[in-house]
Amino acid sequence: MSSVKKITITALLIALCRVLPMAFHAVGLGQTFSPMHLPVLLCGLLCGPVYGAVCGVAGPVLASLLGGPSVQSLIWFIPELLCYGLVSGLLYRRIRTGSTLTDMYLSLVPAMLVGRVVGGAAQAAFLLATAKAWTPAAWVTGYFIKTWPGAVSHLVLIPAIVFALIGAGLVPRRYGRKGK
């Protein structure tokens, strides 16, 4: 895929980092479905680790500038999303099982876990440094239990979106004619 196409896709996904959370938060489902995570993970898969990392930083910054997450929450939100874009892109570039779907899952699941751990560590460091309440139980609840519907929806939606884009000829097939 050309760098112009990657830049265009990345810009679109950065814009979605603002639009999707607005829609989900309007109906009270923002934290549960983690809508900003979807475009960042997609960017890593579609455009690679560098573009994914850029989307993971620029997306929340843009959203914050336009009334999204507070500047304070960017302290842990940016590291989390940066990891999503970077790790999903790195793994998807390296993993070659012969099945696009398997490759996506083997890239998405670790990226989601690493991102949550890094984001949680950044949040813990900030809260502990500012003498605010933080416990491992609160981290597990906030990063895993409350957000499991979002993680599951990402694991369903992202492959569907990637296959739709492949089918439309907007992104290259990974394997053979069927795209498995």
Element (H, E) at 93: helix 74-94
Q: Tokens 């850029």 identify what position?
A: 54
Res 40: pLDDT:
97
**Which of the four pLDDT bands, split at 50, 70 and 90, describes residue 3?**
very high
The Cα 124–Cα 9 span in angstroms is 33
Quote the pLDDT of residue 131.
77
Q: What is the pLDDT of residue 81?
A: 97
**8 A C-beta contact, residue 100 and residue 123:** no
Q: Once rounded to an integer, what is the mean pLDDT over residues 98-113? A: 96
Alpha-carbon distance of 99 to 120, in angstroms, equals 32
Q: What is the rounded distance in angstroms from the CA atom of residue 23 to the CA atom of residue 166? A: 26
Helix (H, G, I), strand (E, B) or coil at 173: coil
Q: In whole angstroms, what is the distance from residue 79 CA to residue 57 CA?
A: 8
Higher pLDDT, 132 or 16: 16
Q: In degrees, to the nearest 5, what angle opens at C-alpha 108 toward C-alphas 104 and 110?
A: 125
What per-residue confidence (pLDDT) applies to 104? 97
Give Cα 40 to chain centroid, integer Å. Answer: 4
The residues near 118 (Cβ < 8 Å, ≥ 6 apart) are 79, 80, 82, 83
* pTM for the whole structure: 0.90
User: Is residue 179 pLDDT above 60, yes or no?
Assistant: no
Query: What value does the mean pLDDT take over residues 67-76?
Result: 86
Q: What is the pLDDT of residue 177?
A: 58
Which domains does the chain show, CATH number per domain?
3-167 (1.10.1760.20)
Asked if 115 contacts 80 with a C-beta cutoff of 8 angstroms, the reply is yes
Query: For the residues 120-139, what does the mean pLDDT come to?
Result: 82
Average of pLDDT values for 67-79?
Answer: 88
Task: Note the pLDDT of residue 83.
Answer: 97
